[in-house]
Structure 1
Amino acid sequence: MANFKTHFNIAAAGTGISSAVLLSAGHTDINTALWFWFLGTIGGLLPDIDSDNSTSLDIIFNIFTAVILLMVLRYITGEHFREIRFIELLVIPLAVYSIMKWLIRPLFEKVTVHRGSCHSLLFLILCGLLTTQLTWIFNNEYVTKSAILALLSGGFVFFGGLIHLILDEIYSVDLSNIRIKRSFGTALKIAYFKSKGATFMMLVASIALGYMLPETDTTINLLADWSTFNFY
């Protein structure tokens, strides 16, 4: 299978070009294009988070910890809550980090196996839908614009992860000796059916998040119109 550097570089290149295409077509602005690029690159690392002690696992969990921390701070300092005190700015980050580091991550490592449930299209769909929902919740000032941002954010996470799975399948073919390695077919799979419980829960969660999607017509119409695309 491809190593971390290859996954990172190819995912960054593929999603970077895609975000640049959207920018050139006037479908997004520079800041949003960079956001899509970032999400797509992270998506390219997601399937390997089931590999214990991998670089992808470290990066994803650090980012996830930061996101959880920001969500907690935003909730506490929301319009219906008081201003946060200095001592809380010290305690809350430490508590969130400790929970993620010493509770959530060990539990995650225990219940997952490499190239298992996380190395599947179903997992990527779930991640894409979850990204869409979170982006939709935290950017709902302008409904139409937020729907486009949310759906494309989820799409870039899925696209980055798909690049990862395809790369691993490509590396399963030895072109030098014209043979197929034993790992062929374990990367680009619909779901990890050996773990029926995890597969069922991901399927249920994906269906639920699918029903909660923002309206899609505006985004589809936007992506169908390339009349303003500027190649030069």
Structure 2
Amino acid sequence: MANFNTHLNTAVIITGLSSAALLSAGHIDLNSALWLWFLGSIGGLLPDIDSDNSTSLDTIFNLFALCAVLIVMHYITTELIIQISFVELVVVPLLVYGFMKYIIRPIFEWITVHRGSCHSLLFILLCALLTTQVTWQLNDQTTMYSAIFAWLTGGFILLGGLIHLLLDEIYSVDLSNVEIKRSFGTALKIANFDNKLITLASVIAIAGLIYVAPPTMQTITLLSDWSRFKLIS
């Protein structure tokens, strides 16, 4: 299978080109392009989150913890409209980070197996839809662009994850010795049917996320129009 640097660099290049194409076509602004590029790069590491001793796991969980801190602080200051003190500004993020690192992460490591459910199309789709829903909920839902941007964030997570799975399958083929390694077929799979409970829970979660997902028509219409795209000025 491909290593951390290969996964990261390939995801950075492909998702960077993809976000640049959207920017060139006038579909998104620069800030959105940079955010989508970041999400696509993270998506390129996401399937290795089930490896207990991987650099991907450390990187992704640190980013998850950061996102959790930002979401909690956003909710407290914006939704609850609470003015918090300096001490609370320090203590609350530390509590959230500690919860993610010392409670959520060990539980996740305990229930996952490397090259298991996380190395599947079902898991990547679940992460993509979850990202779409979170983005949709955190933005102003009255604007047309919020639905478009929400779907694009999920799409880039999906793109990054697919890049990861494809790379692992490509690296499972030994071209020099013209043979297929034992790991072939363990990455790019629909789901981990050995763990039926997790697979069933994932399917139910995906169905629920699709049911409450933002409207798609604006996104389809936007991505169907590439008349403003310029390869060379």
Question: TM-score under structure 1 normalisation?
Answer: 0.97
Question: Is residue 221 of structure 2 the alignment partner of residue 194 of structure 1?
Answer: no
Which residue number in structure 1 is paired with residue 134 of structure 2?
134
Question: Is residue 121 of structure 2 the alignment partner of residue 115 of structure 1?
Answer: no
Question: Is residue 166 of structure 2 the alignment partner of residue 166 of structure 1?
Answer: yes
Distance 2:176 2:35 in 1: 39
Distance 1:90 1:17 in 2: 38
Q: Which runs of 5+ in 1 are unaligned?
A: none
Distance 1:78 1:37 in 2: 27
Which residue number in structure 2 is paired with residue 207 of structure 1?
207
Which residue number in structure 2 is paired with residue 82 of structure 1?
82
Which residue number in structure 2 is paired with residue 101 of structure 1?
101
Q: CA deviation at 1:210?
A: 0.6
Once the two structures are superposed, the pairs formed by residues 11-50 of structure 1 within 5 Å of their partners are 11-50=11-50
- Give the residue type in structure 1 aligned to 2:156: F
Which residue number in structure 2 is paired with residue 143 of structure 1?
143
Distance 2:79 2:73 in 1: 12
Q: CA deviation at 1:194?
A: 0.7
Which residue number in structure 1 is paired with residue 57 of structure 2?
57
Q: Is the 8 A contact 2:141 2:147 kept in 1?
A: no
Q: CA deviation at 1:85?
A: 1.6
Q: 1:132-190: CA deviations, max 9, x gaps? A: 01111111154210000000000000000000000000001111111111111000000
Moved over 3 A (4+): none
RMSD, aligned α-carbons: 1.0
Distance 1:63 1:5 in 2: 17
Identity over aligned pairs, percent: 63
Distance 1:95 1:80, change over 3 A: closer
Which residue number in structure 2 is paired with residue 176 of structure 1?
176
- Count, aligned residues: 232
Q: CA deviation at 1:81?
A: 3.0
Give the 3-state SS of the residue equivalent to 2:78 in structure 1.
coil
